[in-house]
Amino acid sequence: FDREIVGEGMWSAVRDRLTEAGPETTLWESENEYRFGSFLMKLVGLLMPGAFRRQSQQHMQDFKAFAEQGKDVREATD
């Protein structure tokens, strides 16, 4: 499935593929693409590329917790 997000100064697309890897095992591949339009977002992308990777990883971990355990991260308390 594909998602596209458009915000002020940036555009991102996520392409996720879920394939059966074995009995009760699923392989999840995710491609993330970011494009920056404003100078500020280009600067953020250049200086902090890890922030985008960490956010993508967190979304994947949240979805995994939901899919495997039924955990809704919106209800999480830290």
Specify the 3-state DSSP secondary structure of 36.
strand
Do 9 and 37 meet the contact criterion of CB atoms below 8 Å apart?
yes
- Closest-CA residue to 30 (of 78, 64, 75, 70): 64
Q: What is the pTM of this model?
A: 0.70
What the block records as the tokens of 40 is: 């500020």
SS3 59: helix
Per-residue pLDDT of the chain (78 residues; tens, 9 = 90+): 898 989 888 899 999 999 999 998 899 999 988 899 889 888 988 899 898 889 889 988 998 898 888 888 887 665
Extents of the domains making up the chain: 2-75
